[in-house]
Amino acid sequence: MLGWFSLMLDSSHWSARQRAEARVQFALYKSALRPLIRDADLYHVTRRPDGVHWDGIEYHSARLGRGVLYAFRGSAPDQPTHRFRLLGLTPGSRYALRFQDGAAANRVLSSEALMQQGVAVTLKWPFSSELVFFERISSRDTRPELTTPTPSM
């Protein structure tokens, strides 16, 4: 297993497709994640990771009014969906949610719904993940578009 892992770290062995995907992921980190993480509070929104059950980490900046949920599915084959209750949101506010990899349709939910019922993430495969960006919006706005940049190559 260590041989495979060391090959993944050595990008000289990557295919053109892997290099292209890496460029997209680096652009996402630089444009959307790094600026947010720098100013955000960190919340662990699940139990400690064990590799079997779901794991969730939330970064949220009250000052910026936005955040991101890192959702990781563990190895359990009977747990395709998990609800993550977000923390630190502004009560009485509405938030637009954008699922980076399309695990669900983008939507608008209240802070109360996100903090009490949570946001459901469904992933078909064990050991897969999703980023859920969320941003506070005007109470009259119902569109789930975000100002968080979406990277391009």
| Model confidence pLDDT, tens digit, residues 103-126 | 999 999 999 999 999 999 999 999
Q: Is the dihedral of CA 132, 137, 143, 145 positive or negative?
A: negative
Six token digits for residue 68: 């991101």
**What's the rounded Cα separation, in Å, for the pair 30 and 54?**
26
pLDDT over 70 at 128, yes or no = yes
Sheet bearing 107-110, strands edge to edge: 41-44, 55-61, 66-72, 129-137, 94-99, 107-110
Six token digits for residue 52: 């079997």
pTM, two decimal places:
0.83
| Model confidence pLDDT, tens digit, residues 73-87 | 999 999 999 999 999
Q: What average pLDDT does the chain have?
A: 88
Six token digits for residue 67: 């955040």
